[in-house]
Amino acid sequence: MPVPVPRQRAIPAVECGQAPAASPDSGPSTEQAPPGTHPAENPASRRENPTEKREKPTDTSPETSTGPGTSTSPGPGTSTSPGPGTDTGTGTVRTPSGRTESAVPTNLTVLLIEDDPAGSPIVPDLLDQSGKPIRVRTARNLTEAGRLLTDDVHCILLDLALSAPAPARTATATDVGGGGNGAAEGEDELAVLRHVLELAPRHAVLALTSSSDAERGAEAVAVGAQDYLFRDELDGRLLSRAIRYAVERKRSDSAERRLAEGRLRAQENRRLERGLLPTPLLAGSPLRFAARYRPGRSRALLGGDFYDVVRTPDGTVHAMIGDVCGHGPDEAALGVELRIAWRALTLAGLCGDQLLGTLQQVLEHERSDDEIFATLCAVDISPDGRRAGLCLAGHPSPLLSRPGVPARLLPYDNNGPALGLLPGARWPRTQVELGAEWSLMLYTDGLIEGHVGGGRERLGQDGMVELVRRQLAEGLTGEELLRATVNEVHELNGGELADDLAVVLLDRTA
């Protein structure tokens, strides 16, 4: 994954020693830095920052001389704390607001959260793997850290000695009586770390602690930090390596978590889709059932094709197969709704034109767009298994095969319109003689719209009929017939089919 390059902060001219700095005491200054002078050497840039002076405790000790011309207390026009635009010695620049940022374009950005950023820096010079300086931002507290925590920050250096924000407490009788030290005893030593992890769940965190408190550092890692380091044993190479390691480990952990979440969602989706596939209700029927189903969507279990088979109390076996136009999850959901509606209407006693008219009403209410339609083939087989009624709604006609007779398509002259196209449409029912022993194959257009070879020619219904006749001549029946047919269609297409595919086979033996 490429590392985002942070936007560079434009340093005002007054910070980089190229413009005069205004003195808070003597008004506008006319003093200007000579060309090539480092900002730290420019007297104008060493003016004391009033903001930092207010935030940092003032030293009231008497002046002590340490040598000729030197003093430990600040003299006129000088300050012990870095002023605006002053190099802190860590490859960073102190801004007028007291924040510390690198003045050199870098690849990695680090946010340092410590309680005294105006004092001696605890972070040495840092270089990334390519030798470029690592940008360091410094925050005094968690409130300021929240403002500095932008998307270009890759790692957070957290001083565990930082005071955690005090939660609001309500005085109790125990507190009033002088026994309120229970809260202090039960105070969470890693509360500041927990707050940072909640504030920045996607950022790597390095905990800084003292060498005498290694146990606290280990607890920080257990809570969620990527690693811990001893504050008093830091050096540039160690810290740079630790930062790079923490960033990569956080990326790896995030990627692993996303992968696990994706796998869990995929498993849940598969269980859901598998539960939405039909379970034939053929108890008490002599007919044998087989089906093959392959959605066109990659890694999906459910597509826009749907089918179902049920036996009603009078012994009639009803079979249905349909296809919703489109290949997305919305089409798959609509297909499930139509299948469930068909089963409910069939068990309620509806059949033929009445059933399809009601099913069209369901589609019109449930579809997300008025242009969505569905084709459907419905067959009702008499209790003796010798006759069947056929209703087609813009769908390919089933294939009937009998012993000693070549397989053929059932009549499709009375094919009505697809569901959802014409309000008030009618679907005539055609009576078909099946015989004593037969096989009836219902299929969607995914089986016949595959290509043949590398050209643009499609298999079509005629090609599918010839293919099935050849499979039957080899003695294949039931599941073996469907498996061989679907596999050969895939081979002829040169790979996966673009459309959903569903095939249902009903057999009756004498």
CB 33 within 8 A of CB 13: no
Residue 208 to residue 451: CA distance in whole angstroms? 65
The three-state DSSP-derived secondary structure of 241-303 is HHHHHHHHHHHHHHHHHHHHHHHHHHHHHHHHHHHHCCCCECCCCCCEEEEEEECCCCCCCCC
Q: What is the pLDDT of residues 160-200, one digit of tens each?
A: 888 766 655 544 444 444 444 444 434 577 888 998 998 88
pLDDT number for residue 116: 63
pLDDT number for residue 374: 97
Other Cβ atoms closer than 10 A to 307: 25
pLDDT number for residue 124: 65
Rounded to 5 degrees, φ, ψ at 112 are -100, 125
The model carries a pTM of: 0.54
pLDDT number for residue 47: 41
Mean pLDDT of 368-377: 95
pLDDT number for residue 281: 94
Q: How confident is the model at residue 141 (pLDDT cuts 50, 70, 90)?
A: confident
pLDDT number for residue 464: 96
Average pLDDT over the chain, rounded to an integer: 77
Q: What is the DSSP string of 427-476?
A: ---EEEE--SSEEEEEE-GGGTSSBSTTSS-B-HHHHHHHHHHHHHHTT-
The residue ranking higher by pLDDT, 84 or 338, is 338
Angle between helix 352-366 and 329-347 (nearest 10): 140
The residue ranking higher by pLDDT, 390 or 108, is 390
pLDDT number for residue 134: 79
Strand 387-393, strand 430-433: pairing: antiparallel
Q: How confident is the model at residue 100 (pLDDT cuts 50, 70, 90)?
A: very low
pLDDT number for residue 69: 41
The residue ranking higher by pLDDT, 457 or 232, is 457
pLDDT number for residue 426: 94
DSSP 413: T
Percent of the chain with pLDDT over 70: 70
Mean pLDDT of 34-47: 42
Long-range contacts made by residues 361-367, C-beta under 8 angstroms, separation at least 24?
362/337, 362/338, 363/334, 363/338, 363/419, 363/420, 364/420, 364/423, 366/334, 366/337, 366/338, 367/334, 367/420
> Does position 81 have pLDDT exceeding 50, yes or no?
no
Mean pLDDT of 216-227: 90
Mean pLDDT of 243-270: 83
pLDDT number for residue 297: 63
Four-residue CA torsion sign, 460, 461, 464, 470: negative
Long-range contacts made by residues 68-75, C-beta under 8 angstroms, separation at least 24?
74/48
Highest mean pLDDT, choosing among 64-73, 268-277, 385-394: 385-394
CB 412 within 8 A of CB 469: no
Q: Which of 231, 229, 224, 230 is nearest to 249 (CA)?
A: 224
Of the given ranges (173-187, 366-380, 465-479), which has the lowest mean pLDDT?
173-187
Residue 184 to residue 169: CA distance in whole angstroms? 12
Strands of 155-159's sheet in order across: 135-139, 109-113, 155-159, 204-209, 227-230
* List of residues 6+ apart from 208 with CB closer than 8 A: 114, 122, 157, 158, 159, 160, 228, 229, 230, 231, 234
* List of residues 6+ apart from 56 with CB closer than 8 A: 81, 118
Residue 205 to residue 213: CA distance in whole angstroms? 18
The residue ranking higher by pLDDT, 223 or 317, is 317
* List of residues 6+ apart from 318 with CB closer than 8 A: 309, 310, 311, 312, 346, 351, 378, 379, 380, 381
pLDDT number for residue 258: 86
CB 320 within 8 A of CB 395: no
Q: How far is CA 375 from CA 79, 239, 306, 307, 450, in A?
A: 84, 66, 10, 12, 18
> Does position 133 have pLDDT exceeding 60, yes or no?
yes
Of the given ranges (163-177, 257-271, 313-327, 356-370), which has the lowest mean pLDDT?
163-177
Strands of 399-402's sheet in order across: 288-294, 501-508, 438-443, 399-402, 405-409
Mean pLDDT of 131-155: 85
pLDDT number for residue 296: 74
pLDDT number for residue 298: 59
**Residue 431, beta-bridge partner list:** 389
> Does position 280 have pLDDT exceeding 70, yes or no?
yes
> Does position 86 have pLDDT exceeding 80, yes or no?
no
Q: How far is CA 421 from CA 306, 331, 362, 385, in A?
A: 19, 16, 13, 33
> Does position 94 have pLDDT exceeding 50, yes or no?
no
The residue ranking higher by pLDDT, 395 or 48, is 395
Instruction: HSE, CB side, 13 Å, CA atoms: give it for residue 172.
Output: 8
CB 379 within 8 A of CB 388: yes
Mean pLDDT of 98-114: 63
> Does position 73 have pLDDT exceeding 60, yes or no?
no
Q: What is the pLDDT of residues 289-340, one digit of tens each?
A: 999 998 876 556 678 899 999 999 999 999 999 999 987 888 888 999 999 9
Mean pLDDT of 37-45: 42
Residue whose token pair is 């010839």: 466
Q: How confident is the model at residue 25 (pLDDT cuts 50, 70, 90)?
A: very low
Mean pLDDT of 153-157: 89
The residue ranking higher by pLDDT, 164 or 381, is 381
pLDDT number for residue 72: 40
CB 111 within 8 A of CB 153: yes
DSSP 348: T
Q: What is the pLDDT of residues 389-445, one digit of tens each?
A: 999 999 999 999 999 999 999 998 889 999 999 999 999 999 999 999 999 999 999
pLDDT number for residue 87: 40
